[in-house]
Structure 1
Amino acid sequence: MGVGNMLLLSQLTAFLLSFILSFFIFIPMSVNQKEFSGHCLLHATGKWDNSSQLESVEWGPSSACNFSIFMGIIIMMSTLFYVILYFLYLARETDSSWLETFITTIVSIVVTLLLFGSSLSVSVGMKTWCEFLTSPASQISSCDLADFIPFSKELADIDSSNFYTEIKITEFGSWTSLICWLFLAVTSVVKIIKFQQHETFMSSMNRERQRLLQKVGHRSDYTV
């Protein structure tokens, strides 16, 4: 297998891995929102009463959770397309054109930046929520031990039994997928550079061929 095919195979592997990881992003976050009655716990804070019961909650912006779900779905659809496309390239022992590689590079850079923002929002939002849960008034020592939060009657319809696992899975999927897309962006840039080097090489060869043909022509005229 040539170097070009190895690069194509590595990109196909990264797309396939990111496709799998996309389910780790939007599924647990969607389940968490459903269990929290549509509320987003990212960046959420609240108030504890004197008996260490959660009295009220100022929920985080819905856009924080929805953006993570949106990114997971977008990644799933885009990677599925690229997995099929690159698998066909690999099976036919061909590769993408310069234009296709350029578009993939732009897509990879944009997705990487959006994923970074989404991953950062999940991590910072979870940290804010955990700092609130483990405040002295709550008497909860660790965020992973706060699965069963004593909510007040107004918030009794919320199921918080799996929130820590769900958000941690989302966080893992987001950051790991970010690494995949960063790798894809770098390899796409490498392929563009190779295209440019190839074009330069072919142009040089064409000029050299023309120069040799001109020399042969001059010699033929001199002989005659």
Structure 2
Amino acid sequence: MELDRRLLLAHCTAHALSVAAGLLVVVPMALNGSAFKGRCALFSSGYWRTEDPAEMTGQPGDASRLVVQQWGPPAACQFATFVGIFTVLYGAAQGWRCLFYLHGRHDDTLFSSFLTVLLSVCVFFLSGGASVILSLGLVSWCDTVTDDNKLPYSCAEIQSVPLYLDVDTSSFYTELSLAQASLWFVTSLWLVQSILAFLRLYHSHSQHISGPCLPREKELLLDHSPSDRGSPSPPLPAATPTIFV
């Protein structure tokens, strides 16, 4: 198997994984946005307020309720969703191109390979930024709902505790933590795709440089072929004896 074919197979695999990972970002973020009625939980601020126990249901922890002062910026959730959607669409398109190139036994042009490297590096930094934003936003929201870890519940456990908000918080940690892990996996895949795209660019550049030299090398090899070296040399003229007087 040639080098370019191995690179194409590796790139196809990376694109297929990016489609699956991108869906694992988009679907949980969409479910969380629907449960929160379009609001973003990331970087939301709030506090716990003590209520009259007679007005509550009498269950443990019902003497307090969470009050959200300000919901997080929608762009924080939309940015992660955008990276996931772009990864799905780009991975599907590039995966189809890789399969087409494998079938046709050829690769991108030098300019197209350069654009692929440039795009992969740019989206790698974008997905890395989205991963950091989602991680920090989830930590901020967990600090809010756990009252800075003062409550006897972890962030994963408190999603089963009534928060008395006008949104559905029964699965927020599962959705956001799944989207967070998937987005970090997407970032690592973009790093792999950047490396593979650079290797394909280097291979295309090597083929481009060595291509024009092949006809000249072939001509030189034909000029110095063994048949030419083994052919009999023309007879030399007979030497005329010289008589010294």
For the aligned pair, the TM-score class normalised by the smaller chain equals 0.7 to 0.9
1:167 paired residue number: 176
1:128 paired residue number: 140
| Local SS of the residue matching 2:159 | coil
Q: Shift of residue 88 of structure 1?
A: 0.8
1:96 paired residue number: 108
| Identity value in percent | 28
| Local SS of the residue matching 1:143 | coil
Q: Shift of residue 73 of structure 1?
A: 1.2
Gaps of at least 5 residues in structure 2 are 51-62, 224-245
2:45 paired residue number: 45
Distance 1:54 1:137, change over 3 A: farther
| Local SS of the residue matching 1:43 | strand
Q: Which has the larger radius of gyration?
A: 2
1:192 paired residue number: 201
| Local SS of the residue matching 1:157 | coil
2:117 paired residue number: 105
C-alpha contact 2:16 2:91 (8 A) present in aligned 1: yes
Query: Higher helix share goes to which structure?
Result: 1
CA distance in structure 1 between the aligned counterparts of 2:71 and 2:172, rounded to whole angstroms: 14
1:148 and 2:160 matched: yes
Distance 1:149 1:57, change over 3 A: farther
C-alpha contact 1:54 1:150 (8 A) present in aligned 2: no
1:118 paired residue number: 130
The letter for the 1-side match of 2:193 is L
The letter for the 1-side match of 2:13 is T
Distance 1:188 1:168, change over 3 A: same
The letter for the 2-side match of 1:72 is G
Superposed CA offset, 1:183-218 (max 9, x none): 11111112222233333334555676788999xxxx
Distance 1:90 1:209, change over 3 A: closer
| Local SS of the residue matching 2:64 | coil
C-alpha contact 2:163 2:169 (8 A) present in aligned 1: no
CA distance in structure 1 between the aligned counterparts of 2:67 and 2:123, rounded to whole angstroms: 39
1:71 and 2:83 matched: yes
CA distance in structure 2 between the aligned counterparts of 1:102 and 1:52, rounded to whole angstroms: 58
Q: Shift of residue 93 of structure 1?
A: 2.0
C-alpha contact 2:48 2:147 (8 A) present in aligned 1: no
C-alpha contact 2:15 2:95 (8 A) present in aligned 1: yes
TM-score normalized with structure 2 length: 0.78
| Local SS of the residue matching 1:34 | helix
TM-score normalized with structure 1 length: 0.85
1:11 and 2:7 matched: no
CA distance in structure 2 between the aligned counterparts of 1:68 and 1:142, rounded to whole angstroms: 24
C-alpha contact 1:48 1:138 (8 A) present in aligned 2: no
C-alpha contact 1:54 1:149 (8 A) present in aligned 2: no
| Local SS of the residue matching 2:106 | coil
CA distance in structure 1 between the aligned counterparts of 2:215 and 2:105, rounded to whole angstroms: 26
The letter for the 1-side match of 2:142 is C
The letter for the 2-side match of 1:142 is S
1:32 paired residue number: 32
Superposed CA offset, 1:11-70 (max 9, x none): 010001001111111111111011011110011120111233102342110000011111
CA-based RMSD of the aligned residues comes to 2.3
